[in-house]
Amino acid sequence: MPLHPATLQFATDGTPYSDLFDDVYHSADGGLGQARHVFLGGNNLPERWRGRDRFVIAETGFGTGLNFLACWAAWREDAGRSRTLHFISCELHPFRADDLAQLHFSWPELAPLAAQLHAQWPALANGMHRLHLDGGRVCLTLYFGDVREGLAQIDACVDAFFLDGFSPAKNPAMWSARVFHLLSRLAAPDATLATWSVAADVREGLRRARFVVEKAPGFGGKREMLRGTLHSEARVHKPSSPPALRHAVIIGAGAAGTAAAERLCARGWEVDIIDFAHGPGQGASGNHAGVLRPQLSFDDNRMSRLSRASALYGWRRIEETISAGIPVRAAACGVFHLAHDETQETRMRATTERLALPGELLRYADAGTASEIIGWRVPHGGWYFPNCGWVQPPSLCAANLATHSNLVRTHWPQFVARIEYRGYLWHALATDGSIIASAPVMILAAGTGLSGFPHAAPTPVYSARGQVSVLPTAENSPPQAVVCCGGYVTPEVDGLRCAGASFDLGDPDPEPRLGDQQMNLAKLESILPGYTAGLDAAMLGARVSFRPVSTDRLPLAGAVPTATQGVPLAAQARHPGLYMISGFGSRGLAWAALMGELLASRIEGEPLPIERELADATDPGRFLLRRYRKHVTEDTP
């Protein structure tokens, strides 16, 4: 369902107001005061987060964001605060960044924090968005969509709940029995809750969801509020803890391995990273330039939603890395995905209208508009992603390791012949049996080299040979944007542009082939008619690499399962401390950053950055579910 942003309006007394629900966003006595009294005080904060490694809060309605800003400010001011703060919030009608800035202008004491929030505020697209604030110590995970769907998709162990939203009379869906039971499912053993509402239906609904609630003095003109704890006999979601020693060995220094390294190091981990090449980004991640943009589908399927979240997160991470002074060769020059013919053009236009994504993320462009932006006449229009573009993969891999260079030890060129688990440590062994590096956690990010590790056998990853053609070109020559249509071509990058690419499963030939060069030129000609005149395939540069591909074309990021089949994901046995991140295929730049964050979150036992459904779709154990699913299907009436 497309999102409908909130409209900035005010009641006669100046309180932010929603005409959609005919209600105000917070008490007329002051939004910041209400946040501090009801939601912080009602959950006994900051006392409860003191001395904790991590504290997790979930909120039912983000609204103006005042509850989050008040909580963040209190956390920063508390010398005994938890090491990290996770704040998860759902919002069906989010404000635009400019409207938030106007709302927050009334609280100058929050200005430095609000500015960070506005700078990272995501595109208003359905789904989950993860923001890293305060140097990564504060993690805001937003779910844009219906709170009932959001709570069902959140994977987290929550310490405190902020029940906020328009009144039960105005917005009953937010205060429904389903919402209360979903909150109970997410609750940690000592979870608490607070809300300004004391409605009888709210109290009874919470009681039925196994919360013990009591009335407390309210804020301002409201005499009472509600606070509660989870019933001692309720089933709770027990938190998982990271290894006592935050140290990992990563095998593979491509986009996958370096993204996982960067995300773990951001959490204070030490990482040993090993690769058979002489540096990062030399294998499948070694092309001169690649494309970072989402995939789309009319039904907005799992691939589409996951790739959209990945592209948005990936570009945010690149921007943050560059802002930190670490160079990455990348440009959000725009990406076109053009139609092959008029029939496909009609479908692409319909998909754009159906998804109704914000214009900064997706637009439909006709042939005339596309030709003008590209700088070359094209016969058909298609999808235009204005804020996407090209990235030079080796520069991104190097930046991932440079971001926390004090926590990274590199080992190259080193070939890992085998891995062993003994003494509660994973050991990466060289051909002669010597230990290259050891740690309690090991991550297999070796691309197509995964087949060399028997532990990874239950997760089928295949090799796809890809040959990219490299064309010498003049500065500022067309195309001025990345253009895709059965193949792709990039703008000029340091006097060269990339075009391609072949995709041949199971082909082990490492040498460039003239036939593939000719095929790439044929693709280029179909994308930009007349562009290849005078180009000789035999005279062009080429690069061959081998990309790891999963059978369902989705990435893998999680704990490596044992070979037991017919067991649901949550019950599958896993090799202790052994993880993998792979299966990126030809979308490595799109998947890498978010899959690195997902893997780091899983290892740490943190709230996950994507919906539960999408996280399950990336779990390496999914390939063992066939027998289980068959059994469930046959036994289901």
Domain holding 212: CATH number? 3.40.50.150
Among 549, 567, 586, identify where a domain stops.
549
In a domain, 444, yes or no: yes
Band of residue 236 on the pLDDT scale cut at 50, 70, 90: low
For residues 319 and 454, membership in a common domain is answered with no
Q: How far apart are CA 265 and CA 277, in angstroms?
A: 22
Other Cβ atoms less than 10 A from the Cβ of 137: the count is 17
pLDDT at 631: 37
- Percent of the chain predicted with pLDDT > 90: 87
Q: How far apart are CA 108 and CA 97, in angstroms?
A: 17
Residue 350's domain is classified under what CATH number? 3.30.9.10
Residues 6+ apart with CB under 8 A from 103: 8, 16, 64, 65, 95
Across-strand partners of 55? 85
Q: Is pLDDT at 636 greater than 70 in this prediction?
A: no
pLDDT at 361: 96
Among 505, 533, 549, identify where a domain stops.
549
In 455-550, alpha helices (H): 514-527
| Per-residue pLDDT tens over the stretch 545-561 | 999 999 999 999 999 99
Lowest mean pLDDT among 225-234, 537-546, 570-579: 225-234
**Residues 574, 455 contacting (CB under 8 angstroms):** no
How large is the greatest C-alpha to C-alpha distance in the chain, in angstroms? 82
Band of residue 626 on the pLDDT scale cut at 50, 70, 90: low
Q: Is pLDDT at 574 greater than 80 in this prediction?
A: yes
Q: How far apart are CA 599 and CA 605, in angstroms?
A: 10
Residue 606's domain is classified under what CATH number? 3.50.50.60
Q: How far apart are CA 362 and CA 240, in angstroms?
A: 38
Q: Is pLDDT at 627 greater than 70 in this prediction?
A: no
For residues 538 and 575, membership in a common domain is answered with no
Axis-axis angle for helices 302-323, 393-402 (nearest 10): 60
Band of residue 632 on the pLDDT scale cut at 50, 70, 90: very low
Q: How far apart are CA 270 and CA 248, in angstroms?
A: 6
Chain centroid offset of residue 287 CA:
24
| Per-residue pLDDT tens over the stretch 508-538 | 999 999 999 999 999 999 999 999 998 999 9
**Residues 401, 379 contacting (CB under 8 angstroms):** no
State mean pLDDT over 91-102: 96
Among 549, 580, 595, identify where a domain stops.
549
For residues 79 and 196, membership in a common domain is answered with yes
Other Cβ atoms less than 10 A from the Cβ of 637: the count is 2
In a domain, 337, yes or no: yes
State mean pLDDT over 84-108: 96
Band of residue 628 on the pLDDT scale cut at 50, 70, 90: very low
For residues 265 and 365, membership in a common domain is answered with no
Q: Is pLDDT at 350 greater than 60 in this prediction?
A: yes
Across-strand partners of 439? 426
Which one, of 273, 283, 271, lies nearest residue 251 by Cα?
Answer: 273
State mean pLDDT over 212-219: 96
pLDDT at 630: 42
Whose tokens are 């500065």? That residue is 475
Residues 6+ apart with CB under 8 A from 86: 54, 55, 56, 57, 139, 141, 156, 606, 607
The tally of domains found in the chain comes to: 3
Structure tokens at 41: 């005080």
For residues 371 and 492, membership in a common domain is answered with yes
SS3 174: helix
State mean pLDDT over 206-233: 92
Whose tokens are 């196994």? That residue is 210
Q: Beta 488-489 vs 270-274: how paired, if at all? A: unpaired
Residues 6+ apart with CB under 8 A from 277: 253, 283, 412, 413
Q: Amino acid identity, residue 146?
A: D
Backbone conformation region of residue 220, classed left if phi is above 0, alpha if psi is from -120 to 50, else beta: left
In a domain, 293, yes or no: no
Whose tokens are 């971001």? That residue is 403
Q: How far apart are CA 571 and CA 603, in angstroms?
A: 17
**Residues 293, 388 contacting (CB under 8 angstroms):** yes
* C-alpha pair distances (Å), 237 with each of 158, 159, 186, 294, 427: 8, 10, 6, 33, 33
In 293-415, alpha helices (H): 302-323, 342-355, 367-374, 393-402
Q: Amino acid identity, residue 509?
A: D
**Residues 58, 180 contacting (CB under 8 angstroms):** no
For residues 378 and 496, membership in a common domain is answered with yes
pLDDT at 329: 96
For residues 206 and 126, membership in a common domain is answered with yes
Starting at the earlier edge strand, list the strands of the sheet with 158-163.
127-133, 138-144, 84-91, 54-59, 158-163, 187-195, 224-230, 211-217
In a domain, 4, yes or no: no
Band of residue 199 on the pLDDT scale cut at 50, 70, 90: very high
In a domain, 154, yes or no: yes
Backbone conformation region of residue 161, classed left if phi is above 0, alpha if psi is from -120 to 50, else beta: beta
Structure tokens at 194: 């607070």
**Residues 234, 191 contacting (CB under 8 angstroms):** no
pLDDT at 633: 36
For residues 424 and 474, membership in a common domain is answered with no
Terminal C-alpha separation, the chain? 30
Q: Is pLDDT at 235 greater than 70 in this prediction?
A: no
In a domain, 183, yes or no: yes
pLDDT at 1: 66
Domain hosting 421: range is: 251-283+395-458+551-635
For residues 442 and 560, membership in a common domain is answered with yes
Mean of the per-residue pLDDT values for the chain?
Answer: 94
In a domain, 613, yes or no: yes
For residues 438 and 470, membership in a common domain is answered with no
**Residues 104, 115 contacting (CB under 8 angstroms):** no
Angle at CA of residue 422, ends 416 and 428, nearest 5°: 10
| Per-residue pLDDT tens over the stretch 242-275 | 778 999 999 999 999 999 999 999 999 999 999 9
Q: Is pLDDT at 209 greater than 90 in this prediction?
A: yes
Q: Is pLDDT at 615 greater than 60 in this prediction?
A: yes
In a domain, 243, yes or no: no
Q: How far apart are CA 569 and CA 628, in angstroms?
A: 10
State mean pLDDT over 336-352: 97
**Residues 609, 128 contacting (CB under 8 angstroms):** yes
* C-alpha pair distances (Å), 192 with each of 61, 187, 210, 329, 474: 17, 8, 12, 46, 63
- Percent of the chain predicted with pLDDT > 70: 97
Other Cβ atoms less than 10 A from the Cβ of 413: the count is 11
* C-alpha pair distances (Å), 628 with each of 219, 563, 589: 52, 13, 33
Q: Is pLDDT at 240 greater than 90 in this prediction?
A: no
Q: Is pLDDT at 13 greater than 70 in this prediction?
A: yes
